[in-house]
């Protein structure tokens, strides 16, 4: 079993983030929705995907007056989880898929994976994505290459 902070797990989470964003854009194209050029430019690599995520997140925040007021004094992780659950990006949304994903990236056995409740699985899944996205977003904002 791998620890959640090891380099291999972080790389797998980054790949998952990239795959989910790219997959959602492919789904958008399948429904004949007009994908603007901004999305096409942003999704050429992981750095572009993170920039696209920042763009979408900022757009969400600017439109969501109620959410900003509700979470003004709350922590960012709760706000992020609510945002992730309503995203068009193809992140895992049910606990069964999240459990399978975590089991695979952490190389857990069935017994190790089953010892966590659904709530713990969901929280760990969102936390790993949140942690990695926050790291990547800070690098992009600082002008560093990913």
pLDDT reported for residue 86: 65
How far out from the chain centre does Cα 49 lie?
A: 11
Q: Is 74 exposed, middle or buried (0-12, 13-18, 19+ CB in 10 A)?
A: exposed
- Asked if 22 and 49 touch (Cβ cutoff 8 Å), the reply is yes
The DSSP output letter for 44 is T
Half-sphere exposure (Cβ direction) of 113: Cα atoms closer than 13 Å:
17
**CB atoms closer than 10 angstroms to residue 11:** 12
- Per residue in 54-95, pLDDT tens? 777 777 666 665 555 555 545 667 767 777 766 666 788 889
- Alpha-carbon separation of residue 83 from 3, 88, 109, 121 (angstroms): 26, 10, 31, 18
User: What is the rounded distance in angstroms from the CA atom of residue 98 to the CA atom of residue 100?
Assistant: 5
**For the chain, which residues make up each domain, given as ranges?**
7-141
- Per residue in 123-140, pLDDT tens? 999 899 989 888 888 887
**What proportion of the chain, given as a percentage, has pLDDT over 70?**
68
pLDDT reported for residue 66: 56
Calculate the average pLDDT of the chain.
76
Is the model's pTM score more than 0.85?
no
Least-confidence region, from 26-30, 101-105, 123-127:
26-30
Average pLDDT over every residue of 1-9: 93
Q: Which pLDDT band, with edges at 50, 70 and 90, does 30 fall under?
A: very low
- Strand segments, DSSP code E, in 1-146 are none
The DSSP output letter for 36 is -
């Amino acid at each position: 079993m791998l620890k959640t902070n090891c380099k291999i797990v972080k790389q797998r989470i980054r790949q998952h983030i990239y795959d989910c964003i790219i997959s959602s854009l492919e789904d958008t194209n399948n429904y004949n929705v007009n994908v603007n050029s901004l999305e096409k430019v942003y999704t050429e690599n992981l750095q572009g995907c993170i920039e696209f995520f920042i763009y979408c997140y900022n757009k969400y925040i600017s439109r969501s007056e109620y959410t900003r007021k509700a979470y003004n004094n709350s922590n960012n992780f709760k706000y992020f989880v609510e945002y992730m659950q309503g995203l068009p990006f193809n992140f895992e949304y049910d606990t069964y898929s999240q459990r399978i994903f975590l089991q695979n990236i952490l190389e857990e056995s069935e017994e190790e994976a089953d010892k966590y409740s659904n709530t713990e699985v969901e929280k760990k899944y969102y936390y790993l994505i949140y942690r990695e996205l926050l790291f990547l977003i800070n690098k992009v904002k600082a002008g560093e290459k990913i």
